[in-house]
Structure 1
């Protein structure tokens, strides 16, 4: 009965406030017709009608009975602490408070209230429309819930009716008609329940994340501070080192040490940024980090570190974590904190949900319980070691499976390799000589592909010829795509088939992976080059692998060099086409200096075979990769090779195109020109190259209007500095954000905002979607940027823009932004303080 009472009580509460809002709107209506509040009034009346329909149903429902929840199950789900009814109650309550004028007196008549309020309607046009939309959304969901519950009851009645033989015999035709009707609505009911369940699951995950975060300090403040301290290419020496490459490709633990003040924390932030900026097309990769801090007691405990790591990884995981849910339950449903042992168990579970997990810890010497910290690290190392041991066992079982009799089994057991390295070396040596080149190609792709490859995609690789004779030969394909798996034996695995390649079921859409992360670790290690192992030919280096993959992608695309090369069935008949189109630039960029065979192929592709270049765009528009394949895609939006090379940050390709007299200021593409594209993505070396070759630093066009605004929106300090040194206009107006300062403020890029203000950016410049930099920063919930702008004279009372004012922007709700309640409240408090010190101009008095 408790739930029913809660539902009925919630409805009554919403009805009371709804009537209050309608009454206030009626007073406004006494002064003017067709005003904005008329729309609010109409929508609130519609909501009241739905609530009045729902109230008697809720009062009659008895959720506490044995059939609890069956009469109005969907509505019951909406009545939780974070359910839709409570959200509706809060929204209507806020609206009621906004519309009430605190200066009203009960003795005032409606005419006087209306005259006073008519000049001070608190909601601008945008807020009015948002309010109407929000109330309409709540009303529609409630209507949908009522419909779903009523349909469910109809289905139950139908089930009872068909169980009675006499009724069935007498009304067979009517029952058939009911079946048709109910079957049509059954899908809608299930869809509604699925949506509701999804909302509930999302709320449960949010509850778990709040519980974890409540006791976990936020390391991003240290990360942002350290990143701001970084100058230019600081730390690039480490990112280019073999140690960093090996750490990323293996399960190794790397310890960086040095004297106090030598820049270890800045280097940590550089490493974290580098890993975060790695292509995230592989959803199974996760990144977590933590900064111990002697200035912050909360950040000096090892259990806080583990809790923070779990919270970060949980946020990135989409899987159900049973141990974490069990830990929450054992801790009084979040009422108390867990111990370190429980946290470590959960950390292992979360890590197991990803193919690769990168963890960076800074300032271990600033941890106050160092012994406990070392125990935690040893526990993690032990977990990694056990994972290697388990993999060794699996490999031996895979090998023993081929033994056909007891004698063969005994002999195999006597000759088992003693280490995982030796196991992998045997597998590589067992590859027939005639298959070795195929194996090298396949292992390169599986180690460095931008995303997991499907079986049919991988099978195409063996038929690519980078020398162009021809670019791709269908006769070189294997008779069966799954034959490529046999070449690499137990080194590879197909998702869903268990270990190895021994599957009798063929499914071209199954993903092929290296069988274990230790396979990649071995392939990229120095150990594989041991002469005694005789496996050096299979050693894989990142640059060479990406060079080989990029060249193969270009060669594959060059086969589509005729106007009619593409058909609606091209992705089916040439499975690697979409991958090659989407990722060739990414692989080329990773090669860095010295393109090798890619240089010749790039010239053929970008400068000679125009139709192949156009068909690449049709296969996959680089700026609209979410769009479906369209062999007839209009090419009006296609940009130049210089533009796409700049967007991808491929310096060598940009240089190659410029040598062939490309127009450096050619217009086209989402960003307008090559300089804007490179600036938006923060490719400093490309920006420098373009400016050196005559790019107009103040050229207008594209979404961002100019290069400085593009770089500011992306938060790229070094590029902003470079553009300003080359005389970029700091106050140039135009396009979406109006100016560079507003673009940087919207993104919360404090260091860029400081740089622009230092170079005389107008803090109160008007224009763009948000009207001013202050409103843009408030909308994003960026407290430090708001404070910086206010300290530099931003007008807290300025009007205009999407939300009308900075305060309304701070209070506005945008589902696309991940802003916490605390962040919003902090910004609102800053604005209130500023308003107190900057009183607005006095409004003219209105007589009686």
Structure 2
């Protein structure tokens, strides 16, 4: 085939021979004995490329059409070679046609048998697929053009063979070509020696190899050298392919990162919908907005806080009277921890006004959700619990969530937990369960937890905590601690707030306001803040002096004055806003509140978009001292997010989602004697 071949090189057990076919110089590579597969072929290609810098790749066009018109002379070429080299006849001659057996796919050769198919499977017609002999007008051997499947192991399963052949239009299966095709374009020529089933027939291997070689020689003989020289060199192509593959690899890596991120976010959203944890960030942001810049420094810069941060498994209980800014202090602590520590900070605000923030279960759901979102490397624990609950179709128990939370905490370095307003748990039973949870956390094997809790000094809470906490860990927020915070807040407001700028040119009046408020504050930050807001309406000194002389004594009296001072035209809408906030299971979005006050229960229609406020953020002016607008990102945790009509409803009618979820809750707590409400309920249940 190669004329007179000459050994060229032997690299890593690969043998190369140089020769000529027609006017072409040819490198013939011989794979190691008993070794095959894509890796061996790829290695062969790499070393063959080193032998010559003048290797070319070329296209083969027109040969198929020529063979179909004129037929081929492969049999004659093979016979000519065998006649010239008699020693090759035994291995490479055409076998007896009777050895060519194609068994049905369901017929398998016994896997442990070393006997031939002739002896074991035999020539039973019921097991064989009958084929007609090729006529003189048909090529013999026949040349097939099409897709070759390449792999690193033999195809021995006829059923898989047929399935792939039907699905991918595969002509045959082999084990070397992919090792070449993956690195540079080439033409693969294979001689078919068996049917890729369990009946491996080695009798046809020699003849198949000879037929493939004869076909390859025929191709080369029909290609003029000038055409080959005009083609691109393999080294040039390989260089380009290598560069392209590097770019593809980088792109693939980037794609994998993006896909992994999308999968992570998808799983995180599923966990979030499943847990439905209350969001404490609204309480945190609200408190930060109300905090004066230096408020709480007496604690943050004190020895008690510093020792708490250093001591393992530390605990503090901060307690004080209503209005002493415990929640503001909690938020200051959280902010300080997030700025000075690198480990997760978890927090929760119990809230009388939000039913979703009044139980131990709600707190655990919130804490575990925060930890899950902050620590990607410990998510498997909660993912497993999600899977055990039928992939989120069943809710977990409080105990199972608590176990998962502990196991997740155990996997991180340190965890900082701040729990605000323990006294705002909804029942005594819930409060007892919460206090027991705190005790168990501190008594457990966990040594990496730092816990701060706040509350009013209620008897049941104090009695429970005093049983297991050290005396020095129970800190009373004394009036003296808060007085400086109140003074700094009042002084800044009087001198910088736009609502009080009319007194900037009269320093003695500013001092009078400050002194009078400090006399009456009695450690109640909230009381002082409400008085500052009320004094903004005083337009002259006599009015101001009268207001300072009649300051309310308590927070309750302060709130009563605020309600009484609401203008008559604003009163009904202010009451509706306060009703929603008092009985709602969550905070309201501004858009929801705007639609709530735009409803006219006795109007036709009851809701008209024209009745909406032109400037939604002005809604706080109906009762400015009693509500706070907090900026936060809206989240829709709902499986219908891909539903465009649902999204449009939310955009056009923001209150619709809230109504669908909570109308029964509001109807249940509505006053039974309200005839308008009764009529609306009856009309609703009468809808067809």
TM-score relative to the length of structure 1 = 0.29
Q: Higher relative contact order at CA 8 Å, sep ≥6: structure 1 or structure 2?
A: 2
Q: Structure 1 or 2: larger strand share?
A: 2
